[in-house]
Structure 1
Amino acid sequence: MTIHKKAAPPSTAVHPIDDLVSRIHFDAREGRIWLDDQRMLLLHASALGVLHQELIETLGIDKARGLITRVGYNSGSQDAELARKLRRSARPVDTALVGAQLHMLEGVARVETVRLDVDEERGHFHGEFIWHGSAEAEAHIHRYGIGADVVCWQQVGYASGFSSRFMGRPVMFREVQCQAQGAPHCVIVGKPVEEWDGAEEDLRTLRADTLTSGLSAFNGAASAQSLLGDADVVGVSAGFNAVCHMVRRAARTQATVLFLGESGVGKEVLARSLHRISPRSAGPFVAINCAAIPEDLVEAELFGVDKGAYTGAHSSRPGRFERADGGTLFLDEIGILSWPAQGKLLRALQEREIERVGGTKACKVDVRVVAATNSDLREAVKRGRFREDLFFRLNVLPMRVPPLRERREDIPVFMNHFLRKFNQRDHREVTGFTGRAIDAMLTYHWPGNIRELENLVERGVVLASDQGPIDITHLFVGGEEVEGDWLALHRDGSLLASRTCAPATDALALTPELLGQRVVALLSGAENACTTSLDEVEAAMIQSAMARTEGNQSAAARLLGLTRAQLIYRLKAYKRLGGE
């Protein structure tokens, strides 16, 4: 079936609508702006002109055009996934228009649709759009004036990336008229690559491999595959990528690695990846959590036991060092090792040999030790709880894995990764996350890090309905405190102070500030308005009036427009709710 949108009159523009506007949030406290689960930036429009100029004068106009076009292509490709998610049940033409609508929301230009034909079954696409007030063209004109060339390279790349990802086949846009040429506005036309004459030059500009790669199925985890090539090690943040680079460099060596970081940040997952990409990958990977073993059995677990070493030792048993021979031994929570065990571990690291408990003969081992701890070993050394010589032996390649609250760009990646994992494991068809669930996940402080996030997504998959999204009520039901603040947008572009809709423990648990924000959101018709009961509002107003009048019931009643008898009746009901 072909869906055709007739040519719009010149005065008709595509208007941003609420489902897109509501997905833009400003987290001023954390210094982040989010478009759904993608981090965004606010930039001066003049900076775009500086970028054009620097690239043109440094690389030449052809290479500069190609680079800027590819940047736009990447952005459009990601926004196409947002379109699919938000308008899953909409007509294809409405979903295809999201690119133009997001262009306006992002301040690029006012977009007018002249023609849009979409037939996904046949792979047919033809679009023609007018850009009024193109920021890219204006920035270029400011630097170079009016010329002979079209210059909205980033915008053309964006349209091509969005449409290619949306259609699942290469779609290419060309700018056929530009303000930088002296025209009153810019015009772009898009259709499948094979329908263009002379498409080879455009493909060289965009690079065919870039165009093709943009058509692969996108999801947060797959697009952010780590540098370690492991499906379980994902992330896009700078902190995460820095650790991955260090792991890759360390993997080629025999140096001892010490992972530092809070519980739940993924230290063991990184240790397994280090082993997998190292020359020792054919050997065993043996892991031991030192905190999970009784203190009097740690030495036996690490170094093994000879027959008769103690009561009950009826046979000899190899320890973890011997079992890891030729491979990697991962020692988690190494900071809790007893003093004698620390001494034996130091000897094993220095001499590459161990001695079983109750044994008399040293045994050579070829083991690479990778350790991890969530404690401050330097402080433990100062307090005499950890051997200084062992600390320096372990601290050859220290790698700090940042907590999740310091790498919030990775939260959407893990959300999508775990959603896919548990959908597949439990044969569920949960479709994704609601807007307020994403808001809550992005602003939550994550004391349990990735492990806690995984547990919450698993909980959401269990509680949500098939073919439905995970909402905040499916996630934070275990006593978690969610108090994230952000700034959202009204449809008219004005800012609204909002707060994550964390479930209150009772009707009186909301602060007056939070209650006021909820009431404003509700009255303004905001999509992300939290559930707010009349009991909550009434109780808060009574409490405020009584405080303002220092307990004078008559004065408080006048403030509320009630009789004294009516106020007393409501006060009794308020006290039954638990008020004072």
Structure 2
Amino acid sequence: MTKTRLIEQFNLRSRLRFNLEQGEIWLDENRMLLFHARAMGALRRELFDSLGVERARGLLIRMGFASGQKDAELAKKLFGSGDPDDVFRIGPELHAFEGLVRSNIVQSDLDWERGSFAGEVDWDNSWEADSHLQLFGIGEAPACWTLVGYASGYATQFFNRLIVFRETACLACGDVHCHIVGKPAEEWGDDPYLGYFKPDNLQGQLEEMREEISRLRKTLCASRPAGNLVGASPGFKAAFDLVGKAAASPITVLLLGETGVGKEMFARWIHDHGSRSDKPFVAVNCAAIPHDLLESELFGVQKGAYTGAQASRPGRFERAHGGTLFLDEVGDLPLAAQVKLLRVLQTGEVERLGDDQVRKVDVRLVTATNVDLQQAIAAGRFRADLYYRLATYPVLIPPLRERRSDIPLLAAALVEKYEASYHKKLQGISDRAMQALMGYQWPGNVRELQNLIERGVLLAPSGGLIEIEHLFAGGAPVTAPGAEVDRAGVVGNERDDSRNRLYEAILNEGFDLERHEAKLLELAVQRANGNLTHAARLLGITRRQLAYRLRQGAVATEE
């Protein structure tokens, strides 16, 4: 049974009421509250600072546990003659319905007669993980504590025995999505984790709380590597670990990755953290220089070497002597330049164009490309011997769409950067805008994110939040809210909302019912290519009813 059918079968939408006059929201007989996710995130932070991480975690888990129990009572009330498995699955749908997380049950072993339970669930769009990332960045511990408590409380209420869920992967830890595993409490053994579900977990000393807060702050500080490189996702960490090991050595590094992933930033980091940091860093985009000028740019030119060469000048290799030369888009080098580059790498010597004097150069070479060099070799566009020279130490930088947990960190760093440039102070990025950033596919990678954030900082009002319209010029690439409140205070679904907006638009235009009905009948017949049976099916009426209405329309026209 699909999610939509579950929601519709148990008529949850019709049970949600907004009483604006009384200032109340009700889901069946349970009063509900709407809070800003940002405000709840601020509360979490206060709990961490005042209680310490362990106590705050226990409190949030137990709060979620109570919420899960209440929703289980609602699901049982809606039980009717429904299948127990289907009714139990209302819990994940309620969780999504309340805007907390989207759940996908990946494994469940439920035996209602014996009361046995085992299950695993994937979570997407967890408000708690998103909030934790924005406040603290990536850490080592999962962050969806109220959601874990909810799942545990919901299952416990259904099975009349303590069922405990535990988060084994979390977006806040840099994982692709959140994942939980649930089973009866006794099957967890003597795991200290069970203590979070007991109210007496609030014992301890103030000094322990201070130590916990200190450890948390150290963890948060460690989530941002030194320099301008920002990220803590597994893909970023793998790339950063490789460049970190290579920085202090003279090894030639080949940075691989799509356009815009930040290859030059990684190259600069290698230079800044190596033994040549006090010497020049020279960057060359090989694709941006015309082929007939590339050799003179790289290796220099002697006066009179060709028409227009009125003075001798050093090339980029000489200018980078003692330091680092970064060759970006090295896969676009013409074959003639590849031959000379290989010779320089083998001998450490350059010859200026039109000169017979050899000059020694001491250069640390870092290259980068978004071209598949193996394919270029097969196509005869790149020399295999040069490839093996450059690819001594390859480092793959993943695209931004594969390191989504880095987006809040990068966005915060970029906002801070552009606040200084535009002399503004902002509150940050709104929840909807951050959701749009997290859901976007990022064809331009980090460079595109940088451009969007700069635009957002420029357009956002000073002291305000960066909203979606400040970021995306052509409209937000996210789905609109799934439900709206009608005039009776009832929340509908997306399809109903769309139809209601259409009806409202029609009624505002001097509505003529007969004319609109005739036009609708005509369009249906045209779409069905004159087949009245198919046209009637499109309109949701019988063929006889359609034929009668068409005749009536024709008579009215003749009159």
Query: What is the TM-score normalised by the length of structure 1?
Result: 0.58
Q: What's the counterpart of residue 200 of structure 2?
A: 187
Give % identity.
39
Of 181, 191, 214, the match for 2:216: 214
CA positional deviation for 1:372: 0.5
Assess if the C-alpha contact under 8 Å between 1:36 and 1:438 holds in 2.
Answer: no
Match of 1:251, as an amino acid?
Answer: A
Q: What's the counterpart of residue 172 of structure 1?
A: none
Where does the alignment leave 5 or more consecutive residues of structure 1 unmatched? 1-11, 41-70, 80-98, 111-131, 157-177, 179-185, 191-195, 483-498, 502-517, 569-580
Deviations 1:47-98 (A, max 9, x none): xxxxxxxxxxxxxxxxxxxxxxxx999556xx8xxxxxxxxxxxxxxxxxxx
Find the aligned partners of 1:371 and 1:534 in 2 and give their Cα distance.
55
CA positional deviation for 1:390: 0.9
Q: What's the counterpart of residue 502 of structure 2?
A: 535
- Confirm whether residue 135 of structure 1 aligns to residue 181 of structure 2: no
CA positional deviation for 1:406: 1.7
Find the aligned partners of 1:416 and 1:213 in 2 and give their Cα distance.
22
Of 473, 481, 485, the match for 1:477: 473
Q: What's the counterpart of residue 500 of structure 1?
A: 479
CA positional deviation for 1:401: 1.1
Match of 1:408, as an amino acid?
Answer: R
Of 252, 258, 265, the match for 2:254: 258
Find the aligned partners of 1:277 and 1:391 in 2 and give their Cα distance.
25
Give the SS at the match of 1:350: helix
Match of 2:333, as an amino acid?
Answer: L
Find the aligned partners of 2:327 and 2:241 in 1 and give their Cα distance.
22
State which drifts further: 136-145 or 463-472: 136-145
Find the aligned partners of 1:217 and 1:238 in 2 and give their Cα distance.
16
Find the aligned partners of 2:437 and 2:553 in 1 and give their Cα distance.
41
Assess if the C-alpha contact under 8 Å between 1:140 and 1:151 holds in 2.
Answer: no
Where does the alignment leave 5 or more consecutive residues of structure 2 unmatched? 1-64, 72-93, 107-121, 132-137, 155-160, 167-181, 507-516, 555-559
Q: What's the counterpart of residue 316 of structure 2?
A: 320
Find the aligned partners of 2:323 and 2:380 in 1 and give their Cα distance.
32
Assess if the C-alpha contact under 8 Å between 1:418 and 1:457 holds in 2.
Answer: yes
Assess if the C-alpha contact under 8 Å between 1:265 and 1:403 holds in 2.
Answer: yes
Deviations 1:200-255 (A, max 9, x none): 5xx3xx7x65421435896xxx66313xx11x211121111111111011112211
Q: What's the counterpart of residue 389 of structure 2?
A: 393
Greater helix proportion? 2
Find the aligned partners of 2:460 and 2:497 in 1 and give their Cα distance.
18
Find the aligned partners of 1:526 and 1:423 in 2 and give their Cα distance.
41
State the aligned residue count.
401
CA 1:383–1:298 in 2, change beyond 3 Å: closer, same or farther?
same
Pairs within 5 Å for 1:1-20: none
Give the SS at the match of 1:286: strand
- Confirm whether residue 33 of structure 1 aligns to residue 124 of structure 2: yes
Find the aligned partners of 1:537 and 1:389 in 2 and give their Cα distance.
70
Find the aligned partners of 1:72 and 1:244 in 2 and give their Cα distance.
17
- Confirm whether residue 240 of structure 1 aligns to residue 221 of structure 2: no
Deviations 1:384-429 (A, max 9, x none): 1111211111111111111112222222222222222222322333
State which drifts further: 380-389 or 325-334: 380-389
Pairs within 5 Å for 1:276-287: 276-287=272-283
State which drifts further: 336-345 or 409-418: 409-418
Match of 1:212, as an amino acid?
Answer: S
CA positional deviation for 1:321: 0.6
Pairs within 5 Å for 1:58-97: none
Deviations 1:415-463 (A, max 9, x none): 2222222223223333233333333222221111111111112222223
Give the SS at the match of 1:135: strand
Assess if the C-alpha contact under 8 Å between 2:483 and 2:497 holds in 1.
Answer: no
Give the SS at the match of 1:187: helix
Match of 2:230, as an amino acid?
Answer: V
Deviations 1:250-275 (A, max 9, x none): 11221111111110001000011111
Find the aligned partners of 1:443 and 1:385 in 2 and give their Cα distance.
37
Match of 1:440, as an amino acid?
Answer: A
Give the SS at the match of 2:287: helix
CA 1:385–1:549 in 2, change beyond 3 Å: closer, same or farther?
closer
Assess if the C-alpha contact under 8 Å between 1:26 and 1:33 holds in 2.
Answer: yes
Assess if the C-alpha contact under 8 Å between 1:335 and 1:377 holds in 2.
Answer: yes
CA 1:340–1:24 in 2, change beyond 3 Å: closer, same or farther?
same
Pairs within 5 Å for 1:427-466: 427-466=423-462
CA positional deviation for 1:142: 0.7
Find the aligned partners of 2:540 and 2:472 in 1 and give their Cα distance.
37
Match of 2:200, as an amino acid?
Answer: V
Find the aligned partners of 1:378 and 1:140 in 2 and give their Cα distance.
53
CA 1:27–1:369 in 2, change beyond 3 Å: closer, same or farther?
farther
Find the aligned partners of 2:431 and 2:492 in 1 and give their Cα distance.
12
CA 1:548–1:392 in 2, change beyond 3 Å: closer, same or farther?
same
CA positional deviation for 1:528: 11
Query: What is the TM-score normalised by the length of structure 2?
Result: 0.60
CA positional deviation for 1:278: 1.1
CA 1:394–1:13 in 2, change beyond 3 Å: closer, same or farther?
closer
CA positional deviation for 1:133: 5.5
CA positional deviation for 1:521: 6.0
Assess if the C-alpha contact under 8 Å between 1:545 and 1:556 holds in 2.
Answer: no
Assess if the C-alpha contact under 8 Å between 1:251 and 1:277 holds in 2.
Answer: yes
Find the aligned partners of 2:231 and 2:503 in 1 and give their Cα distance.
41
State which drifts further: 542-551 or 276-285: 542-551
Give the SS at the match of 2:344: helix
Assess if the C-alpha contact under 8 Å between 1:18 and 1:527 holds in 2.
Answer: no
Match of 1:559, as an amino acid?
Answer: G
CA positional deviation for 1:33: 2.1
CA positional deviation for 1:187: 3.3
- Confirm whether residue 305 of structure 1 aligns to residue 298 of structure 2: no
Find the aligned partners of 1:437 and 1:530 in 2 and give their Cα distance.
26
Deviations 1:277-313 (A, max 9, x none): 1111121111111111111111111111112222222
